[in-house]
């Protein structure tokens, strides 16, 4: 096994799940109900105390409208704000408003295929908005 491969960080995955659930204003109970799981089990997942099946991971991602890539990617974490500051460091701080941050988080959760589609649609729409 290659030493450069990172091990899946369950606490990071759980933190992302909780972050996204809260962004959708879902209680743990309501979220568990949507997934047909117990709130206690969801809590264990969100704290990184419990592993989940691939099927559960996919169901969680679909329910939260995020990609499994986003959940499994250890390269960015929810518990620090370096995501925003590093990605927008080239912009004047006055330009970084809530809408831009929200757009950033939406795009961060998309797959390569979804990003490509969003870029193509954006290129088509912008001339008509102007």
For residues 13-24, b (16+ Cβ closer than 10 Å) or e, as one string?
A: bbbbbbbbbeee
Q: How far apart are CA 14 and CA 46, in angstroms?
A: 4
| Percentage, residues of the chain above pLDDT 90 | 35
- Per-residue pLDDT at 112: 83
- In this structure, which topology does domain 10-72 adopt according to CATH? 434 Repressor (Amino-terminal Domain) (1.10.260)
Can you give the residue ranges of every domain in the chain? 10-72, 82-129
Rg for the chain (alpha carbons), in Å?
Answer: 17
**Is the model's pLDDT at 4 over the cut of 50?**
no
């Amino acid at each position: 096994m290659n030493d450069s491969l990172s091990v899946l960080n369950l606490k990071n995955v759980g933190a992302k799940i909780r972050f996204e659930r809260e962004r959708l204003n879902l209680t743990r109970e309501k979220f568990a109900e949507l997934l047909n799981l117990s709130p206690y089990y969801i809590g264990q997942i969100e704290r990184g105390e419990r592993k989940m099946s691939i099927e559960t991971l996919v169901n969680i991602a679909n329910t939260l409208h995020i990609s499994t890539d986003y959940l499994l990617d250890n390269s960015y974490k929810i518990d620090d704000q370096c995501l925003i500051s590093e990605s927008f460091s080239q912009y004047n701080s006055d330009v970084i408003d809530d809408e831009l941050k929200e757009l950033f988080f939406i795009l961060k959760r998309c797959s390569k295929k979804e990003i490509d589609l969003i870029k193509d649609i954006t290129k088509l729409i912008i001339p008509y908005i102007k």
